[in-house]
A and B are shown apart, each in its own frame.
Chain A
């Protein structure tokens, strides 16, 4: 029997369609069909300047918008050969780790909701609301932040932001303990996720999985450690790795990542405080980065640079660059081909969910149909990123 888990489904986390061939309750074949949210972002990026494409990236993995912004900005900075100042990097790390916490909270809430544990959904969204109000404080938008720019940040962090972040970071471990107390040794949770949707180490690598999907299968690969960016090698954190590659291991990996992210965020706050609550937030390379407004109003050169960058955009060298980060879902990378004009010749997004979703048939063929929901949930996919 062929069953269509249609694009409109409460548990497909977006508009994913899975064509299942069933034999009773056993899945014989599964074919994910995507494209229902295709937005043409890569084509549209060729018609916009680099800075104009930053808001587009928010809408890709919309659960972790600052991560996408960070990947974009780092790729363009690699192309230009510049680097953001250390204080801006620390703020980027703080916000990216808060994003990771918020994305994993949404994942946990929706995954638990699909499996049936509704309480976790409300608890996780309560924490997510706190992170969203921190976003609101720093840049004005709850979800689609577009706060990072090439060379640093759009604006400096406001007063009181670091205190609010510290308060959040101090109380987050207790909330994570709450989630774990509800789920980790819960016999229903174990029955639904332990041994379910397994992905062997070899399959995970062959299918290109990254992020918690890969780490749950026992591969110790985290781009924050292997290809460090934003000075991640100077922060002290561990990378959780699973053993069996089933849904329970991926759950464990992600919950531990929430704890590690809280740790990193605390260290980042201390580092920013040591560099000054107000200070340098953008690189002073006015060929590519907007000069600060105070200088624009007093210096002629800064005014001319501002005009050129705003009216035309900056002119990168002819070449190409690829830079990836460890987004909450996996390896998120941007590949730019530049022809010297302010608009990219090609922008390619390597989105983690696009590749992770390919592992779905391997995970569920031969298993029961009820495990399909668990598998999709444990993969942590976001259709905005898959379809771009």
Chain B
């Protein structure tokens, strides 16, 4: 078992990027070690996390967007990094304001980011600059809007019950003779 701790990761990262504001997210139930990074140096920091032999975050597990609508900055993009050799997970967060919803793409650092970034773009409209093919992935190509934003509706369709469908066909006695004759089923 390796002795790399998340605090050591934060130390090394801050030492390598001295002027940059890296803060740890705190909260009553923030159960994973989360670092909030600025958008500008994201790619260099991720390359450092991947290439440095002591840290060795070789795998990017997933990328997710999140919309905190009344708050500014509105969006957050969360990255989950995994170091196989040290058995350590790390969350990185990037705060994305609504007016400038652009984040540099991590496809050059971890190729797996490709589809995750497409999905985040599809759901939230956050652009990833430098992505080779930033198109919709899960929704139809001609869909308008970004469904997981908090101001997008769920798309709930009113279910038809008796009390809200006044103009439906009511069953009447004369329809009984239109029932098809009961045919005895024969196997052959």
Contact = CB atoms under 8 A, between A and B. Distances in A.
A38 B139 contact: yes
Contacts of A148: none
Nearest to A204: B59
Nearest to A227: B87
Given A206-B110, A208-B60, A355 B115 contact: yes
A355 B32 CA distance: 22
B138 interface: yes
Interface in A316-332: 316-322, 324, 331
B154 A333 contact: no
B14 interface: no
Residues of B in contact with A, size category: 35 or more
A333 B84 contact: no
Interface residues of A, number: 43
B4 to A, nearest CB: 14
Contact of B138 (A34, A221, A338, A348): A34
Contacts of A42: 123, 148
Interface string B75-96: 0001010001001010100000
Contacts of B139: 35, 38
B32 A322 contact: yes
Given A43-B148, A78-B31, A206 B111 contact: yes
B73 interface: no
Contact of B29 (A81, A331, A354, A358): A81
A40 B112 contact: no
A104 B49 CA distance: 35
Contacts of B110: 206, 208
B84 A221 contact: yes
B115 A333 contact: no
B58 interface: yes
B35 to A, nearest CB: 13
B28 A40 contact: no
Contact of B64 (A43, A321, A346): A346
B91 to A, nearest CB: 7
A318 B62 contact: no
A2 B118 CA distance: 23
B27 interface: yes
Interface string B46-64: 0000000000001111101
Interface string A225-238: 01100000000000
Contact of B31 (A47, A208, A319, A388): A319
Contacts, number: 107
A184 to B, nearest CB: 29
A387 B136 CA distance: 12
A221 B89 CA distance: 14
A80 B30 CA distance: 10
Nearest to A323: B31
Given A42-B148, A387-B138, A318 B59 contact: no
Contacts of A348: 62, 64, 66, 78
Nearest to A207: B112
A290 interface: no
B140 A35 contact: yes
B32 A219 contact: no
Contacts of A357: 115
Nearest to A346: B66
A205 interface: yes
Contacts of A81: 29, 31
Nearest to A387: B138
Contacts of B152: 43
Given A81-B29, A206-B110, A321-B32, 16 more contacts: A35-B137, A38-B139, A43-B152, A206-B58, A208-B61, A208-B110, A221-B84, A226-B87, A319-B31, A320-B27, A320-B30, A324-B61, A335-B62, A335-B80, A348-B64, A358-B114
Closest 9 CB pairs of A and B: A319-B29, A208-B112, A317-B29, A321-B31, A348-B64, A350-B62, A35-B138, A38-B138, A346-B66
28 contacts: A34-B137, A35-B136, A43-B148, A81-B31, A205-B58, A205-B59, A207-B111, A208-B60, A208-B61, A226-B87, A227-B87, A316-B29, A317-B29, A319-B28, A319-B31, A321-B29, A321-B32, A322-B31, A322-B32, A322-B80, A322-B89, A333-B61, A345-B66, A346-B64, A348-B64, A355-B112, A355-B116, A357-B115
